[in-house]
Structure 1
Amino acid sequence: MGNTIVLNQTKQVKEFLQKVVNAISHYLNETTLSQMLEEQAGDRAYYEALLSDLRRLVVYCEEGLEACRIVLQEEPFRKAAAEMTLYKIYHSCIAEFFTPKHDLWYEDSRSAYTGRNSIKFRQSVPVSLEQLLRSLESDFQAMREELEFYETDYRTKMIQSQ
């Protein structure tokens, strides 16, 4: 893949991650566990775990965002470093969104074919949280499609180097 393509993808991922960090950080800064329970009565432990998974996701996205900034600041542009960064972002950020650590939500792949949102929660959640994830889902799906290449490309390079 040419330097220009990788450079443009890195810029695109940086913008995407900035949007994600802003949205999730805003939610986490403005929402308390008590507010969630007031908005939608539910399992307190489940809500705590949801907030924990959101904090984990935002940390991964912040780290990916910082890595993109560093790669984009380097002169000359280092294609290999950018590809490794995009590979790591695919595994930490994108994978964490679709399969969170505590398995509190999941991706219903059949929904993608119907045009509906594919994120399903194991229990009822406040509308505000559901809206947050729904607002980010299409961008995460688009980034997953953009970055899938790095998953297979990296594995191929690792096998060939052995």
Structure 2
Amino acid sequence: MGNSMVKVQTEQTAEFLSSAVADLTVYLNAVTIQSMLEEEAGDRQFFEELLSNFRRLTVFCEEGLEACTIITQTEPFRKAAAEKILYRVYHQCVEEFFQPKHDVWYEDSRSAYTGKNSIKFRQQVPVSASSLVANLESRFQQMREELEYYETDYRTKMMQSR
């Protein structure tokens, strides 16, 4: 893939990450465990793990955004470094969204056939949290499809270099 195409993909990834960070940050700055419990009676520990996943995802997205911004502003543009960053964004951000550490939600692959959201929570969550994830899901799905190439391509290059 040419330098200009990789650069454009890196810039688009930075825009996506910036948007995701903004949405997550707004939510995290506005919500508390207590406000979640008031919105939806539930398991306090589960809500703590949910917020922990949101914070973890935010940090990974912020790191990816910073890396994308730096690489796109560096002259001359370093294609190999950008591909490595896109690979990392795929694994640390996109995969973290669909397979979170604390396993408070999961991806129901059958939902792709029904046209519904594929993220299912293990327990009932506040509508605000559910709305946030639903809002992010389509964008993460699109980014997953766009970055899968880099995941496969980067892994192939690493295997060939051994």
TM-score scaled by length of structure 1: 0.99
Rounded Cα–Cα distance in structure 2 between residues aligned with 1:51 and 1:156: 35
Matched, 1:40 2:40: yes
4+ long deviations beyond 6 Å? none
Q: Give the CA deviation at 1:112.
A: 1.2
Q: Residues 53-92 of structure 1: matches in 2 within 5 Å?
A: 53-92=53-92
Rounded Cα–Cα distance in structure 1 between residues aligned with 2:94 and 2:24: 14
Rounded Cα–Cα distance in structure 2 between residues aligned with 1:155 and 1:76: 24
Once the two structures are superposed, residues 39-85 of structure 1 have per-residue CA deviations (whole angstroms, 9 ceiling, x without a partner) of: 00000000001001100000000000000010011001111110000
- Give structure 1 stretches of 5+ with no counterpart: none
- Where 1:52 maps in the other structure, the secondary structure is helix
Aligned residues: 162
CA RMSD of aligned residues (A): 0.5
In percent, how many aligned pairs have the same letter?
Answer: 66
Q: Give the CA deviation at 1:29.
A: 0.2
Q: Give the CA deviation at 1:114.
A: 1.4
Rounded Cα–Cα distance in structure 2 between residues aligned with 1:88 and 1:47: 28
Report what 1:155 is aligned to: 155
Q: Residues 116-135 of structure 1: matches in 2 within 5 Å?
A: 116-135=116-135
- Where 2:110 maps in the other structure, the secondary structure is helix
Q: Give the CA deviation at 1:150.
A: 1.1
Once the two structures are superposed, residues 115-140 of structure 1 have per-residue CA deviations (whole angstroms, 9 ceiling, x without a partner) of: 10000000000000000000010000
Rounded Cα–Cα distance in structure 2 between residues aligned with 1:77 and 1:158: 21
Rounded Cα–Cα distance in structure 2 between residues aligned with 1:56 and 1:113: 29
TM-score scaled by length of structure 2: 0.99
Instruction: Please tell me the residue identity of whatever aligns with 1:25.
Output: T
